[in-house]
Amino acid sequence: MRKFFLFFGLVLFSINSFSSHLMGGEITWKCLKTGPDIGKYVFTMKVYRDCSGITVSTLTQVIQVWNHPTVTGIDVDFILQQDVSPICDPIASGNNQLSCAGGDPGSVEEYIFESQPVQLPGIPPNTGWQFTWDNCCRNAAITNITNPSSAGFTLRASMYPFVDPTTGIPTPADPCFDSSPEFKEQPKTILCTGFPFSYSHNAFDEELDELIYSWGEPLDDFLSTYNPPVDPPVLTFNAPYTVSSPLPGAPTLNPATGEVSYNANISGNFVTCIKVQSWKCNQLVAEVYREVQVVLISCPTLPASPIPNSPPDVSQPFIDSITGLPSYDTTVYAGSLVEFVIDGIDTDLYNGLTPQELVMEVSGGQFADDFLTTSNCLNPPCATFNNAAGVPAPFSNFGTVSGIFRWQTSCNHIAANIGCGQTSNVFTFLVKVFDDFCPANGIKFATIKVTVLPLPIDISPDIRCISVQENGDVKISWQHIASAPPSTVYSLYHSTNQNGPFSFVDSIFFPDSTFIHSSVDGNQESHFYYLTSLSSCADESAPSDTLQSIFLDVVAINSETEADMNWNFLRQPNLP
């Protein structure tokens, strides 16, 4: 559907200028949890266009809001415009570099728009609040869509209600409490055919909600009320392409990591759409879409050679415990240090002599912006990534490039203090290695997946002292182990016999480290105690050491002029 109205043309152009050759984009939002605008939302819209078409307007755009009783639109201001075409070496590769400034077919430009902090009062209905931006037009050269030059373009996202699982009451959206998933990796739009390829959009949720990826339906633009698939209609795919198979080469999509894999030998322009759902406490709370037009080209061979350029290889840092084969996936217990070296290797040579320059990049929500800080990410401790010289990503080298990954996991990574605690414990880190071949880099993505599990049992508490008060009450003291999280709960057990039976006395919550057991008359007999602990990080521990309160036995001797005194040890042998 095309939005061409002669009468309203000037008015419409000032708000939403028409751009041919739109390639994709997304709408996301962030909940501000600190600062003067705490509780408000900031919306971000990204739009990608083929540089051989008309530019996108840099005037303030409007994200339309649907199903909200009072808010109908959110202004997003222009922030950035940049060429995201492949960076390469035209001299060494012997091929031209694509440039948006030159309007080269296949070159890509990114536009970023951002709102001021806004409020969304009320509670979303079960059908959600929808956020949309639509425009015209698409690239006439698109391969997998029927009549692409007549097709429009709609970006969308949805916010859904969240019912507090404790109270059963829906949570108001103002103040905000949840951000949408955000994409940590720029979309890959220009790729060579002829070899297996995998990539990931690498979505991340700062509340650690569970993310589920699936294919989405690309939409036309629309004229009236947002009501898909009526208006806008869903675009029709040309056979053999479908919503779930929009690329040549039998594409697959991993619903947990978002990794897309295919092996294409057909060139063309292909519309793809990825849907990412965010689930909190088994409730759908957010849904974002990223639409990307993938340009597959038959790349030229290496200079003075019939050999095509090949993507780098990226080593697999883990060993699968079942198959014994190298893997990009690992499972660890909270508190474990995950550390490995990962290598990118490319044996291609320019003119049989010169190795290609390889760049290694990483992305993921568990990295700080500088890839070195361990305290400035969404869920600290943060992971770090640098080369052997200590240079943080991205970094480069010729022929082989290596990076060192280090992440100290903790209880924070299996249960965040947000929502109902049913948060994702699966973390993905995207390692990308690409060469400097023109016009399209050889690229290899490695999706590192780390699953963090609670310890099978907690570490036993360090019980240190038992003292009897003047009134016969018994005071028990212990030390927290260094890794004890705030969710730690201690259980105290008591008996008057070393061999038991022991009975449960009470639960003590971190950070308390003492307990007074009253009304036991510790001046008349000895008492035995031990502790166990559990937390969100681990199941209940084995019992601690058992300590015995000191009981003083006094016997008068020598006509009661002297006393024979005997008392027991707290523990045999003594505690270290």
Are 100 and 107 in contact, with CB atoms under 8 Å apart? yes
The pLDDT tens digits of the residues spanning 533-573 come to 988 788 889 999 999 998 888 888 888 888 888 888 887 77
pLDDT at 574 over 80: no
Q: What's the confidence (pLDDT) of residue 19?
A: 52
The pLDDT tens digits of the residues spanning 275-326 come to 999 999 889 999 999 999 999 999 999 998 899 999 999 999 999 989 999 9
Euclidean distance between CA atoms 344 and 10, whole angstroms: 52
Give the list of residues 6+ apart from residue 532 with CB closer than 8 angstroms, or none.
458, 460, 461, 490, 491, 493, 540, 541, 542, 543, 544
- Supply the DSSP symbol for 146: S
Q: What's the confidence (pLDDT) of residue 422?
A: 53
H or E stretch at 62: strand 61-66
pTM (predicted TM-score): 0.77
The pLDDT tens digits of the residues spanning 214-258 come to 999 999 999 899 999 999 999 999 999 999 999 999 999 999 889
Proportion of the chain above pLDDT 90, given as a percent: 69
- Bridge partner list, 48: 24, 110
pLDDT at 17 over 50: no
Q: What's the confidence (pLDDT) of residue 466?
A: 92
